[in-house]
Amino acid sequence: MRIAFVGKGGSGKTTLSSLFIRHLAAGGAPVVAVDADINQHLGAALGLDETEAAALPAMGEHLPLIKDYLRGTNPRIASADTMIKTTPPGEGSRLMRVCEDNPVYDACARPVELDGGAVRLMVTGPFTDADVGVTCYHSKTGAVELCLNHLVDGPGEYVVVDMTAGSDSFASGLFTRFDLTFLVAEPTRKGVSVYRQYKEYARDFGVALKVVGNKVQGPDDLDFLRAEVGEDLLVTVGHSDWVRAMEKGRPPRFALLEEPNRDALRRLHTAADAAYALRDRERYTRQMVHFHLKNAQSWGNERTGTDLAAQVDPGFVLGGQVTASV
Ligand SMILES: Nc1ncnc2c1ncn2[C@@H]1O[C@H](COP(=O)(O)OP(=O)(O)OP(=O)(O)O)[C@@H](O)[C@H]1O
Ligand SMILES: [Mg+2]
């Protein structure tokens, strides 16, 4: 299943996604962790030192390889050059699985050892000012979208994406590619206003959204979030000394994470599993096509000199190919 963490800058997206990834790994689940946030900190939050984090390959730099691999022998996609970030898979396309080796993982993923087992980490690469809000060809998150659109993932397998709530993901449809989106919100007006904006986009596409309150310090904070967010509030997390120790470069064993925070992670896990069970593959594929046609019209056709609508394979539904590895 696919889980995204979004929210305002500094709300705790990276912290909570890294804790959730550690929780999944501790339970032995296969995990692909993806850093698609403007500030690329997921590697560090998973315990990599500066040198290790800097050595991670950037997905954005491997787009030609990613496109060429995923295109496979799909006759509707004449070349990797005509493949844009929203190009949907069809007959002949290569699909990715969470548990397998493939050239995309070889080029873009690195193993990160955590308590309980290793996860695969992929990062988009650092954003520059010129990348922010870019909707077209050079979008840094395009590689993530392509991979998700070609991924068949079974129950018990997790792709966790640390992402911004920015315009990039709304324009491209990336925000609709998840079984469940956790919106991390501090108990502040700004935190809650990002939730409202996201909710608005999400509503039209049936995106499942739950709020994770972070840095919640007492009954006042909790009351505020409950009043502003209502039943979308799934759980709250308080200040964590474990996180603070990790930030100092002295991560304690994961088993020592505070019990209330462990409990919060279990509840995220349960919610994610429940969301996967509700996945509607046909709607998922329909939305993929919807965003492709939208991007084709607004810039893709012109940029590639091709009628990109012809890339859509009308008989194809992503996910019919699923085989669980657990
Ligand atoms: N529950 C928590 N307990 C202690 N510290 C926390 C907690 N949540 C977040 N922090 C701290 O707050 C800071 C911001 O968190 P984090 O980097 O996860 O936010 P972010 O939303 O990913 O930010 P950015 O938008 O910069 O990517 C970090 O220093 C982090 O360690
Ligand atoms: Mg972050």
Q: Tell me which DSSP letter residue 187 carries.
A: S
Q: Looking at residue 251, what is its pLDDT?
A: 79
Residue nearest to atom 19 of ligand 1 (CA): 12
Q: Looking at residue 128, what is its pLDDT?
A: 67
The 10 Å Cβ neighbour count of residue 142 is: 28
Q: Which ligand is nearest to the CA of 241?
A: 1
Q: Give just the sign of the alpha carbon dihedral 193, 194, 197, 199.
A: negative
| 323 within some domain | no
What are the residue ranges in the chain where pLDDT is below 70? Answer: 128-139, 166-169, 320-326
Task: Label the pairing between strands 117-123 and 31-36.
Answer: parallel
Can you read off the two tokens belonging to residue 183? 């919106």
CB of 161 shorter than 6 A to ligand 1: no
| 64 within some domain | yes
CB of 239 shorter than 6 A to ligand 1: yes
* Residue to mutate (ligand 1; options 15, 38, 236, 237; most atoms within 8 A of CB): 15
Instruction: Please give the Cα distance from 150 to 144 (Å, whole number).
Output: 10
| 277 within some domain | yes
| 174 within some domain | yes
Cα-to-centroid distance, 39 and ligand 2 (Å): 5
Cα-to-centroid distance, 244 and ligand 1 (Å): 10
Task: Label the pairing between strands 109-114 and 233-236.
Answer: unpaired
Can you read off the two tokens belonging to residue 5? 């963490």
| 218 within some domain | no
Q: Looking at residue 82, what is its pLDDT?
A: 94
| 128 within some domain | yes
Instruction: Please give the Cα distance from 239 to 236 (Å, whole number).
Output: 10
Helix, strand and coil in the chain, % to nearest 5? 45, 15, 35
- Residue 9: which CATH number? 3.40.50
| Domain region containing 281 | 2-181+273-311
> pTM of the prediction?
0.95
Cβ distance 169 to 198 under 8 Å? no
Q: Which ligand is nearest to the CA of 8?
A: 1
Residue nearest to atom 14 of ligand 1 (CA): 10
CB of 39 shorter than 6 A to ligand 1: yes
| 67 within some domain | yes
Cα-to-centroid distance, 166 and ligand 2 (Å): 13
Cα-to-centroid distance, 13 and ligand 2 (Å): 5
Q: Looking at residue 138, what is its pLDDT?
A: 57
Q: Which ligand is nearest to the CA of 239?
A: 1
| 41 within some domain | yes
Residue nearest to atom 15 of ligand 1 (CA): 12
Number of domains in the chain: 1
CB of 240 shorter than 6 A to ligand 1: yes
Ligand 1 atom having least distance to the Cα of 247: 31
91 Cβ neighbours under 8 A, 6+ residues apart: 74, 75, 313, 315, 316
Instruction: Please give the Cα distance from 68 to 8 (Å, whole number).
Output: 34
The beta-carbon contacts of 311-316 under 8 Å, at least 24 apart in sequence, are 311/76, 311/77, 311/82, 311/83, 311/87, 311/88, 311/90, 312/76, 312/88, 312/90, 313/74, 313/76, 313/88, 313/89, 313/90, 313/91, 315/91, 316/88, 316/89, 316/90, 316/91, 316/285
Question: What Cα–Cα distance (Å) separates residue 229 from each residue in 28, 183, 215?
Answer: 33, 11, 16
Instruction: Please give the Cα distance from 121 to 163 (Å, whole number).
Output: 14
